[in-house]
Structure 1
């Protein structure tokens, strides 16, 4: 493991530490060890730890590196940053991705809190999904249950985020249904509908994310680095990642780091 020296982003985001790495493998290994140290410290301090992770292809090497590390995994709860409203066996399910790549080896002992009920069968794609008011009514029961389950565990010890080239993070987009709620609600979880993506979503809210003890943003490539820099210089709802990475007013001691691959 050869992490480079962390640096700062400058006056626009002095609260952030930046961890650049020359390869995806080096980034995944270094970040896995950093997360493991934070989870171990949480367990030592409070007897348990909560880790929230994102889906997509980018975190798979991280999941594989983290899953083999020797932690007291039975004292760790793993849950999601966001989820698509699809059945558990669907190819786009974040829960399925986590089960396949993170909850393996030693990490299989962790408790996993999935978001979509196992009884869910409809696939609300852009072609067949109902109008937003009707869909939101379906998700309201799920959202209420998740808020009830997560509240005793909050704040999360580590939240691992990704970012799109449009500046979205979690399932908080610059446009779409439910986005105003995601930015303003005190609740932990809300339902959203991205303007172009095929599935409705459940996501941690801005308040939930800013309340986490440590927020990690994992990105790669010059394009995303440029988008992030722009979002940090002028945080606004058009690029929600800039808002999500701001210091939480209620939790100024909580930390934020950005891990950047080539």
Structure 2
């Protein structure tokens, strides 16, 4: 795991955006398309803003989420809505977005269909992750219902999960799908998250899911 300490959060955002677009460019030199998996939440928004103005061949980039709340894309808590408003604008508006949400279906019912549709996107070319202070990543929450299945070696690409403290049902890329990404990046801010990440590397995966997927990746940190 490569750990990069940035002078401040603004510098981290610019460095992460540069690293991600560089990885996408390199992938497009070798492959027909690049699959790019990204999180929701507040941290990646500024990274998306910076990336959307960069000129690469976005028409060959396939953007998907690492996880999604099971709500329509026009819902205020939709990760898809965030990605479309912050990343898929400017030059990046030409990227293809792969939606997980299926109207009229539960997450549990839709997950196998979405998993099948994602098979051609694997392995993920470039992955951006976030992490909570509880050491969750994507929607892989420690000891949550469905986590064991999502962490299994034979897990489907997309799994339905139901974190007990979250208001909606969710879907998440499985640990195998995340860990298999060719280029992996994690962005975290604050001393509490740095300490949580260091602790995660000493714990079982079911207690600290981030530890199962970030090995071999790059961590971008700022206070």
If the TM-score is normalised by the length of the shorter chain, which range does it land in?
over 0.9
Corresponding residue of 2:214: 245
Corresponding residue of 1:222: 191
Q: In the TM superposition, what whole-angstrom CA distance separates every residue of 1:90-138 from its partner, at most 9, and x where no partner exists?
A: 1110000000100010000000011112x34xxxxxxxxxxxxxxxx93
Deviates more, 1:74-83 or 1:173-182: 173-182
3-state SS of paired residue (1:233): coil
Contact kept? 2:149, 2:155, Cα under 8 Å: no
In the superposition, the TM-score normalised over structure 2's length comes to: 0.95
Looking at structure 2, the residues matched to 55 and 48 of structure 1 have their Cα atoms a distance apart, in angstroms, of: 22
Alpha-carbon RMSD across the aligned residues, in angstroms, is 1.3
In the superposition, the TM-score normalised over structure 1's length comes to: 0.82
Contact kept? 2:67, 2:171, Cα under 8 Å: yes
Which has the higher Rg, Structure 1 or Structure 2?
A: 1
Looking at structure 2, the residues matched to 201 and 79 of structure 1 have their Cα atoms a distance apart, in angstroms, of: 15
Contact kept? 1:73, 1:110, Cα under 8 Å: yes
Deviates more, 1:159-168 or 1:23-32: 23-32
Report whether the alignment pairs 1:158 with 2:119.
no
Looking at structure 2, the residues matched to 112 and 138 of structure 1 have their Cα atoms a distance apart, in angstroms, of: 21
Report whether the alignment pairs 1:144 with 2:112.
yes
Looking at structure 2, the residues matched to 194 and 22 of structure 1 have their Cα atoms a distance apart, in angstroms, of: 34
Report whether the alignment pairs 1:64 with 2:33.
no
Contact kept? 2:63, 2:95, Cα under 8 Å: yes
Corresponding residue of 1:186: 155
2:176 equivalent among 207, 210, 225: 207
Corresponding residue of 1:78: 63
Alpha-carbon distance, 1:146 to partner: 1.4
Alpha-carbon distance, 1:142 to partner: 1.6
Looking at structure 2, the residues matched to 239 and 232 of structure 1 have their Cα atoms a distance apart, in angstroms, of: 8
Aligned residues: 222
Contact kept? 1:84, 1:202, Cα under 8 Å: yes
Corresponding residue of 1:250: none
Looking at structure 2, the residues matched to 214 and 151 of structure 1 have their Cα atoms a distance apart, in angstroms, of: 18
Question: Superposed, which structure 2 residues align to 1:28-47 within 5 Å?
Answer: 28-47=13-32
Q: In the TM superposition, what whole-angstrom CA distance separates every residue of 1:164-184 from its partner, at most 9, and x where no partner exists?
A: 111111101112221111111
The ranges of structure 1 where at least 4 consecutive aligned residues each deviate by more than 2 angstroms after the TM superposition are 137-141, 233-236
Looking at structure 1, the residues matched to 168 and 155 of structure 2 have their Cα atoms a distance apart, in angstroms, of: 24
Alpha-carbon distance, 1:187 to partner: 1.4
Contact kept? 1:95, 1:114, Cα under 8 Å: yes
Corresponding residue of 2:99: 114
Alpha-carbon distance, 1:145 to partner: 1.9
Looking at structure 2, the residues matched to 236 and 57 of structure 1 have their Cα atoms a distance apart, in angstroms, of: 25
Alpha-carbon distance, 1:235 to partner: 3.8
Q: In the TM superposition, what whole-angstrom CA distance separates every residue of 1:176-206 from its partner, at most 9, and x where no partner exists?
A: 2211111113311100000211111100101
Report whether the alignment pairs 1:27 with 2:12.
yes
